[in-house]
Structure 1
Amino acid sequence: MTLLRALDRFHAGRPWDHNARFHPWILRRLPPRVGSALDVGCGSGDLARLLAARAGRVDAVDADPAITARARELTPPAVPVTYLVADAPAGLPERSYDVITCVAVLHHLPFTEALEAFRDRLAPGGTLVVVGVSRERTPVDHLLGIVSIPLNIVMALLKNRGRRAARPVSMTAPNRPPGMTFPEVAREARALLPGARLRRHLFWRHTLVWRNDRPPLQHPAT
């Protein structure tokens, strides 16, 4: 317990954004240009602004009005991002997107309903990318967690370069512990999204990538 308290004090003074580390990884899974993108749980809009460099339109949704207002302040007027204050999945826009992203938010949402909403809004040929957090239970989970501790310290030192930094403001949601294990996440996700690719990562994260290979709906001729 003493060690854990010491680590907490260390990271409180030298925070770094674990989620932003995955932004380049996310972009590598996406086409160079897309028509539209949806970022669910956008926080201060860092990923939404990166998506705007590839998409003609980006809708960014967060349930927190204060952090959404901050995202608007940080986004230049010429950047095509529309920020919406809404609860996911019920409040998501009723339209289709070529890209949907969701970073470290899914464990705060009703899992099945959220993935169904993402699936139903993803256009044919579109890509869904989720960075998630799961409850540690298996030996692999614990091994990755142990390996992540010293790497996390190194990253904190590199990111802050020996100086104290302000806590990242990309998210303001309460730090709710995840309820599902990675095997549970993988099993339920693959049932809802056939062909979804999931893998564990360091720094207490996992990823899900799914491409919608369903053909477009064929409307009867009139």
Structure 2
Amino acid sequence: MKILSPRALRALGRFNAAYPWDHNAHYHRWILRQLPRRFGLALDVGSGSGDLARLLSGRADAVQAVDSDPVITAQAQKLIPSGLPVTFSVTDAIADFPAGPYDVITCVATIHHLPFAQALIRFRRHLAPGGTLVIVGLCRAETTVDHLLGAVAIPTNAAMGWLKNKGRPSPRPVSMTAPTRSADMTFNEIIREARDILPGARLRRR
């Protein structure tokens, strides 16, 4: 089911390029509300420009931030204020998962790039007892409700871009250079696999 024609998609792409905003950062405050006030070691998987890792450092003793994109990781490294306990590295989150245990693991808009079950198993293995895992991910639209939510999101996204840029076209920030891919799992498939690997996990639409 296609919501927009190719011509409309191109027009929307031009609008979003002129009025960009960081969708991932929209969830950062929500993520922080899921975490303890203070914790020891944190891991941010798919750290991108490092915004979330820097926020985590305000509560953590130390933060390890990993991403597969060397360009965006180098940019994030340059933005670290002196003395901030954050380390950025270019890492394959499956083949070279940084050894824990971690009191907090976060993963935003990244898990659909990884083998889902393998990623969850590694998160579980490296999460400290009593630790907190927060994942913000994408799913493939399947149901009528999925497609309706997608349709509602299109004008909402455009409006947010306009408001965030105060109606003025803005240059886009440095973007990811690593290959991207669309989500291939539906929400129901994610629920089934996640509950098998992480019994008691809470899953919700945002």
> TM-score, normalized by length of structure 1?
0.87
Structure 1 unaligned blocks of 5 or more: 202-222
Residue aligning to 2:60: 55
Cα deviation 1:152-179 (Å, max 9, x = unaligned): 1110111111111222446443331111
Deviation at 1:3, TM superposition (A): 2.3
Q: Which amino acid aligns with 2:109?
A: A
The answer on 1:101 being equivalent to 2:106 is: yes
Per-residue CA deviations over 1:50-108 (Å, capped at 9, x if unaligned) read 00000001000011222111111001121100112110122121120000000000000
The C-alpha deviation readout for 1:120-146, integer Å capped at 9, x for no partner, is: 011011000001011111122112111
Q: Would you say the 8 A contact 1:43–1:169 is kept in 2?
A: no
Displacement of 1:149 in angstroms is 1.2
Aligned to 1:29: 34
Alignment of 1:51-200 (within 5 A): 51-169=56-174, 171-200=176-205
Structure 1 Cα separation of the partners of residues 196 and 173 of structure 2: 35
Name the % identity. Answer: 64
Letter in 2 for 1:43: G
Partner of 1:212: none
Q: Which residue number in structure 1 is paired with residue 15 of structure 2?
A: 10
- Partner SS state of residue 190, structure 2: helix
- Name the CA shift for 1:199/1:172 in 2 (closer, same or farther; >3 Å): farther
CA contact (8 A) 1:46 1:170 kept: no
- Count of residue pairs the alignment pairs up: 201
- Deviation at residue 198 of structure 1 after TM alignment: 0.8
- SS of match in other structure, 2:123: helix
Distance 1:34 1:87 in 2: 25
- Structure 1: how far apart are the matches of 2:148 and 2:173? 27
Aligned to 1:209: none
Q: Secondary structure at the match of 1:71?
A: helix
Runs of 5+ unmatched residues, structure 2: none
Larger relative strand fraction:
1
* 3-state SS of paired residue (1:79): coil
Determine the C-alpha separation between the residues in 2 that align with 1:190 and 1:49. Answer: 30
Aligned-pair Cα RMSD in Å = 1.2
Runs of 4+ in structure 1 off by over 4 angstroms are: none
Q: Distance in 1 between matches of 2:48 and 2:175?
A: 5
Q: 1:170 to 1:5 in 2, by over 3 A?
A: closer
* Inter-partner Cα distance in structure 1 for 2:118 and 2:109: 16
Does the 8 Å CA contact 1:100/1:118 hold for their aligned counterparts? yes
Distance 2:16 2:175 in 1: 16
